[in-house]
Amino acid sequence: MTAKESITFPIDIVYTWVDGNDEAWRERRNRYMPNAQSTAKAPNHMCEARWMQNNELMYSLRSVERFAPWVNNIYIVTDGQRPAWLNDEHPKIKIVDHKEIIPEDALPVFSSHAIESCLHLIPNLSEHYIVGNDDTFFGAVTHPEDFFNADGRPIVRLRGARFNRRRGRRGGNYYRVLYRMQNIAKRLWGKLICHEPHHNFDAYRRSDVIHCAELLNDDWQRTTRRRFRHNKDIQRCVVSYYAVATKRAELRLVGRYNRIHGIKALIKALLSGHYAADSRWIKLHLPDYKREFEKYNPLMFCMNDNAQTTDEDRKRMIEFLDDMFPQKSQFER
């Protein structure tokens, strides 16, 4: 049985996308922002980089066409927006407005936690799906079996390095929320999973998300109704922790040797300093993106825009992505 024949069920992909450069959207966000303050000096989870739009989604869809053509439907979840370059008449492309999945009394929301808490409500979403952001990309040929087992169980990827629990108690929003999700998993399912998300495409079963949403209903509903991130939010990684803890998923810790098999290949990688990781988080303030990519040869990669990123970094990122994916895809006008 070939790898292509082993999985017959459809697998959708879901993107969350916002055009943070849109003045009308920014004005609406600033109207609801606590203290109506600029995000320039706000905590990291509210820094302006979280909403910057550099057409990364266009390149991500090019990576789908090139390296994941087996994807079924492509759902793009937006707040009344759509990319000007997008061919939304393509049969795979489905634009989903926040109004279709988020309760009316919760709108508008600007928190990724709130938006992601409602993704399982997308009409006609398949049982098996992958969630990504516009800054996540496929870096090599992928197969459905890279995300799900033949029996339908998702492959959950978490970072190989152990999560710093002390930082989770005292750090910023991101760390505090992960700390809570790990504690929830320990309390409800008896397993403490001290690893954090790998910041890339993640696989889910819709039924698992529905189960967690019902079990954690009060916290889930509060998360949906918070317009900005909060330390007591639910983060979607709790579904992955649930699936791993209850053996409804296969855990794979991400490291530099994920796709290296055999002692000879391992020795070669050690000697050459060239690896084959499942995924790599490329920070935009690094001086050489191509060198980083070639060193780790990732199946997936993320171009992480954060508070340290400059406009020059973003320009270099687009040049790198254009070099990686120069061909216009069928998902563009």
**What's residue 40's pLDDT?**
38
> pTM, whole model, 2 decimals?
0.92
Q: Is residue 251 part of a domain?
A: yes
pLDDT for 165 equals 84
Q: Is residue 208 included in any domain, yes or no?
A: yes
With 0-12 CB in 10 A as exposed, 13-18 as middle and 19+ as buried, what is 252? middle
* Res. 5 pLDDT band, cuts 50 70 90: low
Q: What is the pLDDT of residues 78-131, one digit of tens each?
A: 999 999 999 999 999 999 999 999 999 999 999 999 999 999 999 999 999 999
Which domain, by its residues, includes 118? 9-257
Query: Is 295 among the domain residues?
Result: no
Give the number of other Cβ atoms within 10 Å of residue 37's Cβ: 11
24-60 tens-digit pLDDT: 999 999 999 876 443 434 444 444 545 566 789 999 9
Quote the mean pLDDT of the chain. Answer: 92
Would you say residue 215 lies in a domain? yes
Whether 236 shows a pLDDT value over 50: the answer reads yes
| 223 in Cβ contact with 234 (< 8 Å) | yes
Who contacts 196 (Cβ-Cβ below 8 Å, separation ≥6)? 158, 159, 163, 178, 237
Flag whether 21 is in a domain.
yes
Q: Is residue 278 part of a domain?
A: no
Domain containing residue 246: CATH number: 3.90.550
Quick one: tokens of 102? 């988020």
The reply to whether 308 falls in a domain is: no
Kind and range of the H or E element at 3?
helix 3-6
User: How much of the chain exceeds pLDDT 70, in percent?
Assistant: 93
How remote is the C-alpha of 259 from its chain's centroid?
21
Question: What is the total count of domains within the chain?
Answer: 1
Whether 182 is in a domain gets the answer yes
